[in-house]
Amino acid sequence: MAVKKTGKRGATQRMLEAWRSYGNGRAGSGNKKAAETLRQPSGYEEVLLDGVLRGRGWRQKADGALFASAVASMAESLRVLRFARGIKAGKVLYSLCARSGEYRNPLLGLPDFFGNAGYPRMRYERNGRSFAVRMQSQQASVGANIHAFEAGLVSGFLGIAEGRPVLLSESACSANGSEYCVFEEAPARGSTVEPDDLSEWLLRLLQEGAPRSSWGINSYYSNLIWETALHSMYSAEIRGIVHYYGDLLGRITRRDNRKPEKELGRMLDSLALGRMRVEGKASFHVIFDAVSMRRRFTDISLAFASGFLGGNLQVSEQSGGYSISILQ
């Protein structure tokens, strides 16, 4: 693979600025309480967390979030990283809930957050001082407990609420044969299992498309999931895994005489890796929304496209997306 890029970036900055002007607009609408409580999020992660909490973003198929979670669970180091990122996110989320003025008890913000993210019916269970959390999630088996980020998020959130370290791990997972994901203050039973090969699941997605009943996930939450996978130390590995699956699916597409550009567009859309428009023979345009137009995220998308198309790509940045040409 060789991906050559041109153009400059700054989408995150543009997105933060857009968010700030939106916040200022609301604060200036005469609602004094809103003016007091709408403090500006200070970073990308906070913008995403706040966006989910307030129900911004739109529903997309849960396949992208499942793919991101499974890819980022492929090694113990990645699971540890995602758990740690989750703890940090949980602390930030708690402070957002506590200062929003909407909750007399900030604990109530967490079910709201997961509900808006696309994980309904989250509930706390207390056993003495111990917590357990149960929630519904997308149902597709990948053979492992993959919600390390969510385990960290719940832990960080409850840790601040309780004023003591709370460390929950996922003892049952909807991606691993359970109806619910269950997070408990107990050693994890399934977290050391690496996910099955995703090929079979992706192949079904390629051939049949996502089932209609597929869960909806908030697009901000989907970006948050990818965010946890894009740590600079691991992004090369993640790109490698994603490229591998792209390559595999591209080969199958060509073997079955399907149209690669059509199937690639469908896969990118299903996996929430961007929307693609065909511009001509061997020439495409992949569009990202402002939130996902970040270098490491778009690199993931390009790694998938490059694997899928199986050629050298010329890539240039253009208004909210990339133009991709296959070099012969």
User: Which residues of this protein are in contact with Zn ion, per CB under 5 A?
Assistant: 147, 173, 181
| Cα gap 110→113, rounded to integer Å | 5
Q: b or e along 204-223 (b: 16 or more beta carbons within 10 Å of the residue's beta carbon)?
A: ebbeeebeeebbebbbbbbb
- Give whichever of 140 and 293 is closer to Zn ion, judged by the CB atom: 140
- Give whichever of 146 and 276 is closer to Zn ion, judged by the CB atom: 146
Bridge partners (DSSP) of residue 283 are 280, 325
- Give whichever of 147 and 294 is closer to Zn ion, judged by the CB atom: 147
Q: How far is the CB of 174 from Zn ion (least distance, A)?
A: 5
Q: How far is the CB of 138 from Zn ion (least distance, A)?
A: 9
Q: Are 151 and 158 in contact (CB under 8 A)?
A: no
Q: How far is the CB of 183 from Zn ion (least distance, A)?
A: 8
- Give whichever of 37 and 136 is closer to Zn ion, judged by the CB atom: 136
- Give whichever of 173 and 238 is closer to Zn ion, judged by the CB atom: 173
Based on the number of CB atoms within 10 Å of its own CB, is 57 exposed (0-12), middle (13-18) or buried (19 or more)?
buried
What single letter denotes the amino acid at residue 57? G
Residue 262 structure tokens: 């059509």
Place of tokens 């079904």: 204
- Give whichever of 175 and 268 is closer to Zn ion, judged by the CB atom: 175
- Give whichever of 97 and 146 is closer to Zn ion, judged by the CB atom: 146
| Cα gap 283→309, rounded to integer Å | 11
Q: How far is the CB of 324 from Zn ion (least distance, A)?
A: 34
Q: Are 71 and 226 in contact (CB under 8 A)?
A: no
Q: Are 195 and 256 in contact (CB under 8 A)?
A: no
Q: How far is the CB of 33 from Zn ion (least distance, A)?
A: 37
Pairing of strands 321-327, 216-218: unpaired
Q: How far is the CB of 170 from Zn ion (least distance, A)?
A: 5
Q: How far is the CB of 117 from Zn ion (least distance, A)?
A: 13
